[in-house]
C-alpha cells in the first residue's frame, strides 16, 4: 500500500473555552496519521474546525463566524446535552456534524472528521429528526404554495429538464407535456434566469449535479 503523503492529511483546528476539553480533543488527534492539528493562530488554514461548547444556541452559532476565517469552513460541533439552536441555521453556518461530548469515543471522533472531509455529515438522531421536520414544514408551508421544491426547481421545470436532457426539441417537449412551445420556452427562461444558468446545456448539467434528474 502506498505511503500517505502530507497532502492526504486532514488539517483540523480545535476550539473550546474549556481548557480541559480542548486538551482532551487535541489528544485524540495526536496518534492518527490521517489528521494533523492546526494551531489556533493558523485556524484559517484548517480543513475542518472542531468547536466544543457545553450549550449550542444562537450565540454559539454566531461565534462560528469568528472561528472560521473563510466562508466555506466545515465545522464539527462537540456539544454537551444542551442543544438550543436551529438545526438549519447551524448547517447554514457550516456545521456538518455534531457529537455529544459524553458519548463519543476517539475512533468515532476521527471517523466523523474523515466523513466530513469526504463531503458527508453526521447528526445525532434527535437532530436529524428536528431537521427533517423543518424540511417538511418548509416544503409544505413555504415552497409548495409557490410551486417549488426544496431544490428550488418546480415539478414542471423538472419535467422540461428531463426531456431536454433526452435531446428532445422544444416542439416535442410541448407536445409531450401538453404545453405550448412558448410556455416551454418561458419555463426554461425562468429557470435559467433564477439560477443564473447560461443555456439549456448548463441547466441540464446543473440538474444532474444536483441529483434532480
Residue 117 sits in a domain of what CATH number? 3.40.50.2300
Residue 16 lies in a domain: yes
Query: What is the span of the domain harbouring residue 41?
Result: 6-135
Bridge-partner residues for 50, per DSSP?
A: 14, 76
Compute CA distances 21 → 18, 102, 109, 198, 210, whole Å: 5, 11, 13, 49, 38
Instruction: Assess whether pLDDT exceeds 70 at residue 1.
Output: no
Are residues 133 and 108 in contact, defined by beta-carbon separation less than 8 angstroms? no
Question: Are residues 159 and 115 both part of a single domain?
Answer: no
The CATH number that applies at residue 205 is 1.10.10.10
Q: Which has the closest alpha carbon to 42: 70, 5, 64?
A: 70
Residue-wise pLDDT for 143-152, tens only, equals: 777 666 666 7
Instruction: Assess whether pLDDT exceeds 70 at residue 5.
Output: no
pLDDT category of residue 43 using cuts at 50, 70 and 90: confident
Cα–Cα distance for residue pair 144/23, rounded to 1 Å: 48
Bridge-partner residues for 49, per DSSP?
A: 13, 75
Indicate yes or no: pTM above 0.85. Answer: no
Residue 142 lies in a domain: no
User: What was the pLDDT predicted at 112?
Assistant: 95
Amino acid at each position: 500500500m502506498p505511503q500517505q503523503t502530507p497532502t492526504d492529511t486532514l488539517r483540523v483546528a480545535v476550539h473550546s473555552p474549556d481548557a480541559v476539553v480542548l486538551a482532551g480533543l487535541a489528544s485524540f488527534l495526536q496518534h492518527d496519521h490521517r489528521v494533523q492539528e492546526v494551531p489556533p493562530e493558523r485556524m484559517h488554514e484548517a480543513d475542518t474546525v472542531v468547536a466544543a461548547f457545553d450549550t449550542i444556541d444562537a450565540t454559539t452559532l454566531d461565534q462560528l463566524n469568528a472561528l472560521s476565517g473563510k466562508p466555506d469552513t466545515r465545522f464539527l460541533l462537540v456539544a454537551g446535552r444542551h442543544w438550543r439552536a436551529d438545526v438549519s441555521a447551524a448547517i447554514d453556518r457550516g456545521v456538518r456534524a455534531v457529537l455529544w461530548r459524553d458519548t463519543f469515543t476517539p475512533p468515532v471522533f476521527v471517523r466523523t472528521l474523515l466523513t466530513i472531509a469526504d463531503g458527508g455529515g453526521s447528526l445525532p438522531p434527535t437532530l436529524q429528526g428536528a431537521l427533517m421536520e423543518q424540511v417538511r414544514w418548509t416544503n409544505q408551508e413555504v415552497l409548495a404554495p409557490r410551486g417549488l421544491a426544496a431544490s428550488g426547481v418546480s415539478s414542471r421545470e423538472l419535467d422540461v429538464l428531463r426531456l431536454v436532457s433526452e435531446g428532445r426539441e422544444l416542439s416535442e417537449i410541448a407536445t409531450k407535456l401538453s404545453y405550448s412551445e412558448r410556455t416551454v420556452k418561458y419555463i426554461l427562461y425562468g429557470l435559467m434566469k433564477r439560477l443564473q444558468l447560461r443555456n439549456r446545456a448548463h441547466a441540464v448539467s446543473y440538474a444532474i449535479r444536483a441529483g434532480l434528474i
